[in-house]
């Protein structure tokens, strides 16, 4: 697929196909079950038909794009883990030993690991994709996290990467992240784009104590006061208080929607990226499926704002794309209900009387 050279606000994203969704509903109503008895599985199946524009969707090639980057704001002491963990976890992904690797294998998904801005020079690896914008963002508590051009570059990289995976056959895209300090950036984005108090959208991330939590809230508020991100300009928001992996995931969502692919968003960091993507292109929302509701309070606020109902609520807070992987199994099951289950006529089963 050909992707635009520049990420602009006027990128064309088609509406989902309502006509095909009605046809999907008609078939669902004819299947050997009481009307609506498979609940949200039926809703999801119909959504996938509308997104993919096929009455027989087959999600054979599942891909989770996990983007890694560091955040300068960790210098403020907002995380329970040192910044070096980002680099170490990328190597863990590449060795196949992380939570996302286990769950992706479980559902038959490929994991694509992207260095969007890790604050280290990672050793070359056949399964590592290098798109480093810079070695981590600047400290958003003292000034902008990145330039507008860096934010655009990260978004363009996300669009390019999802386009490449779609060219390779990807039927469904999951989003994942790794980056110490990224819940701080995500809380800042959520506060601005949902017009919420910082304390309402800030959680404990990697498991910080009360003192560090209070510091985290204060640091986010300082970042907002120093940078004054414009909620009417999502590019300004992600540039001033975001992260390279967050901006990259914005591009993944926009590119996936443009190519009529369902995009399964993971937890809070993916949710923050979704806020930016939908602010840039409102039609992106119709192609997003919320995998789960994480423990982060800002994630609940984000999903409510986007009017996305999560498929799972398992108290997850790992990120990496783990929730997206689990949700893909449910989405695949929904499609198989539509395509493999017999109708009353096909099965020779009597319909409901009356």
What CATH number should be reported for the domain holding residue 73?
3.40.50.10210
Residues 154 and 52 occupy one common structural domain: no
What pLDDT is stored for residue 77 in this prediction?
A: 94
Query: What token pair was written down for 149?
Result: 């051009």
Residues linked to residue 115 through DSSP beta bridges, in sequence order: 68, 130
Residues 47 and 101 occupy one common structural domain: no
Residue 6 covered by a domain: no
- Expressed as residue numbers, the domain containing 342 is 18-57+337-347
C-alpha 22: how far from chain center: 27
Given the residues 76, 87, 165, 320, the one annotated as active site: 320
Residue 301 covered by a domain: yes
Q: Say how many domains are in the chain.
A: 2
Residues 81 and 196 occupy one common structural domain: yes
Residue 323 covered by a domain: yes
What CATH number should be reported for the domain holding residue 50?
1.10.1610.10
Residues 35 and 66 occupy one common structural domain: no
Residues 152 and 225 occupy one common structural domain: yes
The string of pLDDT tens digits covering residues 181-203 is: 999 999 999 999 999 999 999 99
Q: Where are the alpha helices (DSSP H) in the chain?
A: 18-30, 39-52, 84-95, 99-107, 148-167, 182-193, 210-227, 234-241, 244-258, 268-280, 297-306, 322-340, 344-347
What pLDDT is stored for residue 206 in this prediction?
A: 78
Residues 201 and 287 occupy one common structural domain: yes
CB-CB contact of 124 with 218 (8 Å): no
Residue 31 covered by a domain: yes
Residues 50 and 68 occupy one common structural domain: no
Residues 118 and 134 occupy one common structural domain: yes
Residue 228 covered by a domain: yes
Residue 126 covered by a domain: yes
Residues 67 and 198 occupy one common structural domain: yes
What pLDDT is stored for residue 213 in this prediction?
A: 93
Distance CA 112, CA 279 (A): 26
Residue 353 covered by a domain: no
Residues 223 and 178 occupy one common structural domain: yes
What pLDDT is stored for residue 4 in this prediction?
A: 39
Residue stretches of the chain with pLDDT short of 70 = 1-10, 354
Q: Maximum distance among all alpha carbons in the chain?
A: 70
Residues 75 and 135 occupy one common structural domain: yes
What pLDDT is stored for residue 6 in this prediction?
A: 44
Residues 191 and 250 occupy one common structural domain: yes
Question: Active site includes 320?
Answer: yes
Residue 85 covered by a domain: yes
């Amino acid at each position: 697929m050909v992707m635009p050279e520049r990420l602009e606000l006027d990128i064309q994203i088609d509406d989902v196909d309502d006509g095909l969704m009605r046809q999907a509903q008609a078939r669902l109503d004819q299947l050997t079950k009481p009307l609506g008895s498979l609940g949200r599985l039926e809703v999801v199946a119909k959504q996938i038909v509308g997104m993919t524009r096929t009455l027989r969707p087959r999600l054979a090639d599942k891909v989770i794009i996990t983007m890694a980057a560091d955040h300068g704001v960790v210098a403020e002491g907002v995380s329970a883990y040192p910044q070096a963990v980002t680099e170490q976890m990328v190597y863990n992904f590449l060795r196949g030993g992380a939570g996302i690797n286990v769950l992706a294998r479980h559902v038959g998904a490929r994991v694509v690991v992207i260095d969007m801005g890790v604050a280290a020079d990672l050793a070359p690896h056949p399964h590592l994709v290098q798109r480093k914008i810079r070695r981590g963002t600047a400290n958003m508590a003292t000034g902008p996290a990145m330039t507008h051009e860096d934010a655009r570059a990260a978004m363009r990289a996300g669009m390019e990467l999802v386009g490449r995976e779609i060219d390779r056959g990807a039927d469904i895209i999951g989003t994942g992240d790794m980056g110490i300090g990224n819940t701080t950036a995500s809380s800042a984005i959520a506060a601005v784009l949902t017009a919420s108090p910082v304390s309402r959208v800030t959680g404990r991330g990697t498991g910080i104590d009360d003192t560090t939590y209070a510091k985290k809230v204060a640091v986010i508020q300082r970042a907002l006061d120093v940078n004054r991100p414009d909620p009417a300009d999502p590019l300004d928001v992600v540039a001033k208080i975001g992260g390279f992996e967050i901006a990259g995931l914005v591009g993944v969502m926009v590119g996936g929607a443009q190519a009529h692919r369902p995009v399964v968003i993971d937890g809070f960091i993916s949710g923050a990226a979704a806020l930016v993507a939908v602010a840039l292109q409102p039609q992106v929302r119709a192609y997003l499926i919320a995998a789960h509701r994480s423990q982060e309070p800002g994630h609940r606020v984000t999903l409510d704002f986007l009017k996305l109902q999560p498929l799972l609520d398992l108290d997850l807070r790992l990120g990496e794309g783990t929730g997206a992987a689990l949700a893909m199994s449910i989405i695949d099951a929904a499609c198989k209900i539509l395509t493999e289950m017999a109708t009353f006529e096909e099965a020779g089963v009597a319909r409901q009387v009356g």
